[in-house]
Amino acid sequence: ARLRLLARLLSHLSRALTGIEIHPGARLGPGFFIDHGMGVVIGETDEVGVDVTLYHGVTLGGTSWHKGKRHPTLEDEVVIGAGAKVLGPIRIGA
């Protein structure tokens, strides 16, 4: 319970300092890179692979309030351009 609270507090602090919102439950692979990150949103059940790049204004969002997988999965070496909105439990790449 303490670690969840700490993760949530760190998420809020990071958002305030950077303009990037990453849910503590998101799974991010090594080499993940956010370029000019203002306005980037990454949801709770997002899965991001190795060497993925996101540009500013990208949303990796869910399409429901139901529990379970509801956000996108980005495979390795995917690039998502500025302003893109990727919604729902879809898979991009590979």
| CATH code of 36's domain | 2.160.10.10
Check whether 65 has a pLDDT greater than 90: no
66 pLDDT higher than 90: no
pLDDT recorded at residue 34: 97
Residue 50, pLDDT score: 98
> Taking residues 47-73, what's their average pLDDT?
95
Per the prediction, the chain carries an average pLDDT of 94
The total number of structural domains in the chain stands at: 1
Please state the rounded mean pLDDT for residues 60-85. Answer: 95
| Domain extent for 76 | 2-92
pTM as predicted: 0.87
**pLDDT surpasses 90 at 4:** no
CA dihedral 16, 87, 51, 75 (to 10 degrees): 150
pLDDT value of residue 74: 99
Return d(Cα 56, Cα 72) in angstroms, integer: 17
